[in-house]
Homo-oligomer: A and B are copies of this chain.
Amino acid sequence: MNYFSSQFKLGILGGGQLGKMLLNVTRKFDITTHVLDANEEAPCRIACNQFTKGDLMDFETVYNFGKQVDVLTFEIENVNVDALEKLEKEGIKVYPSSRNLRVIQNKAKQKLFYLDHNLPTSNFSRFAYASEIEDAVLNGGLEFPFVRKSAQFGYDGNGVKVVRSLADLKGLPPGECIAEALIDFKNELAVIVARSLNGEIKTYPVVEMEFHPEANQVEYVICPARISAEVAKKAQEVALQVSQAFNHVGLLAVELFQTKNDDILINEVAPRPHNSGHQTIEASYTSQFEQHIRAILNLPLGQTENKVGGIMVNLVGAEGYTGDVIYENIAEIMKMEGVTPHIYGKKQTRPFRKMGHVTIVHEDLNTARQIAEDVKNTIKVISK
């Protein structure tokens, strides 16, 4: 198929920041794009060829949107997967597949998938209702501490909580959930694996993540991770095993724990460009966004090595500010060496909302890390 022709149409479900960064690539390659999102003011509203307002969870909306395009992808997992399945049956190419999305959308199914494929992950129990957790604790079937995760519709740490006592269970959402053993880890790592339709596979360097303690959102992503070559190799191998099990098309971001014993356990995966890969825009030979487009269009994959070291800092709304956003001191950080801000274009800020990210690149990763801290201490996402 000739992708570089206006006859070809790529559909993207979701018009948020990930979609926006995908559109930079489709613009570069002049690939025609249609985007569906419920928010008329979504970051993708401009830069796609056609924007459609509609509910990503509604069967008819997703189905009708998908029927207009040749290849359909998504930038968010919370889409109507039944519609994707019907579209696949009717000949629309959907990458990643509805089969994989169904597994990944539900954290309980995802964990079972790892068990079924002998992939290393933490122990867990599945509960159809939140109330069952309390029963399990009281009957001695579950011990504190554990991590409670909603099975469905978790995003950016929503629905995830470390539970250390019965009191922590109060006020949690009612639906299906899992309780995972709390891993005593040294590092949270991630590896992005790209796989194209014809089976070409490339992995990005292992990255190291630091999470914000309260919001459970990534605060720094450090590429390459400051770990030993053996641990990096093991992380890459596990990521490739996961990739092989899913047999996916497109990106698969594999989040991993490096335990105190240097074991590698799978935390979770995302079948799309991922927060842990934003620094690839400036640091890598091929950005994760370009790689996703190359993979789903069955084009040759690009190199995944770093040109220089890269650090990513999320720009999240400061606590205590809700309303029309202001990026305080943005010019100050633009003075710093190797600093590039990315502003997603959301007009309203609220505490911990992802409003953008900043990449810091430098030949020397330690210098980059120092600058990243300066960036973090300088810019502030507030409201008028």
Q: Which of B28, B326, B341, B343 contacts A342 (CB 8 A)?
A: B28
Interface of A is mostly: loop
Provide the A334-362 mask, 1 if CB < 8 A to any CB of B, else 0: 11011011111101000000001000010
Tell me the bound Cα distance from A48 to B48 in angstroms.
Answer: 11
- CB-CB contacts of A308-323 with B at 8 A, as 1s and 0s? 1000000000000000
Shortest C-beta distance, A201 to chain B (Å), equals 15
Question: 1/0 per position for A1-31, CB-CB distance to B under 8 A?
Answer: 0101110000000000000100110011110
Partner of A345, one of B30, B46, B324: B30
**Closest B residue by C-beta to A6:** B347
B326→A5 contact, CB < 8 A: yes
Q: Do the beta carbons of B30 and A331 come within 8 Å of each other?
A: no
Q: Is the CB of B2 within 8 A of A326?
A: yes
Would you call A370 an interface residue if the criterion is a C-beta within 8 Å of the partner chain's C-beta atoms?
no
A300 touching B347 in the complex, CB below 8 Å, given contacts A308-B307, A326-B5: no
A299 within 8 A of partner (CB): yes
Closest partner residue, chain B, to A327 (CB atom)? B4
CB-CB under 8 A from A299, the residues of chain B are: 331, 334
- Given A30-B345, A343-B28: A334 touches B49 (CB 8 Å cut-off): no
- A155 near B: Cβ within 8 Å? no
Q: What residues of chain B lie closer than 8 Å to A129, measured between beta carbons?
A: none
Q: Does A138 contact B (CB under 8 A)?
A: no
Q: How many angstroms between the C-alpha atoms of A302 and B340 in the bound complex? A: 9
Taking A4-B327, A28-B340 as given, write out 18 further A-B residue pairs in contact, using a Cβ cutoff of 8 Å, ordered by the A residue number: A2-B326, A5-B324, A23-B47, A24-B27, A24-B28, A27-B345, A28-B341, A29-B341, A29-B343, A30-B345, A30-B356, A46-B47, A285-B361, A299-B334, A300-B334, A302-B334, A307-B308, A307-B361
**Per-residue B-contact encoding for A28-49, CB less than 8 Å = 1, 0 else:** 1110000000000000001111
Residue in B30, B46, B344 whose beta carbon sits within 8 Å of that of A344 in the complex: B30
Copies per assembly: 2
Cross-chain contact A20 with B27 (CB below 8 angstroms)? yes
Residues of A that sit less than 8 Å from B by CB: 2, 4-6, 20, 23-24, 27-30, 46-49, 285, 290, 294, 299-300, 302-303, 307-308, 324, 326-327, 330-331, 334-335, 337-338, 340-345, 347, 356, 361
Contact A331 B47 (CB under 8 A): no
A241 vs B335: C-alpha distance in the bound complex, in angstroms?
25
Contact A343 to B4, CB < 8 A, known contacts A334-B294, A335-B300 = yes
Instruction: Report the nearest B residue to A281, measured CB to CB.
Output: B28
Q: How many angstroms from the CA of A308 to the CA of B305 in the assembled complex?
A: 12
Alpha-carbon separation in the docked complex, A29 to B358 (Å): 11
CB pair B330 A4 closer than 8 Å: yes
Contact A331 B300 (CB under 8 A): yes
Residues of B within 8 A of A356 (CB): 30
A303 proximity list for chain B (CB < 8 A): 337-338
* CA–CA, A337 and B334, complex, Å: 31
Q: How far does the Cβ of A292 sit from chain B's closest Cβ, in whole Å?
A: 14
- Alpha-carbon gap, A337 to B285, bound state (A): 9
Residues in B with CB closer than 8 Å to A290 are: 340
Q: How far is the CA of A229 from the CA of B4 in the complex (A)?
A: 42
- CA A222 – CA B299 in complex, angstroms? 27
CB contact under 8 A between A285 and B29, given known A46-B47, A46-B49, A49-B46: no
Question: In the complex, which residues of chain B have a beta carbon less than 8 angstroms from the beta carbon of A344?
Answer: 30
**Minimum CB–CB distance for A309 against chain B, Å:** 11
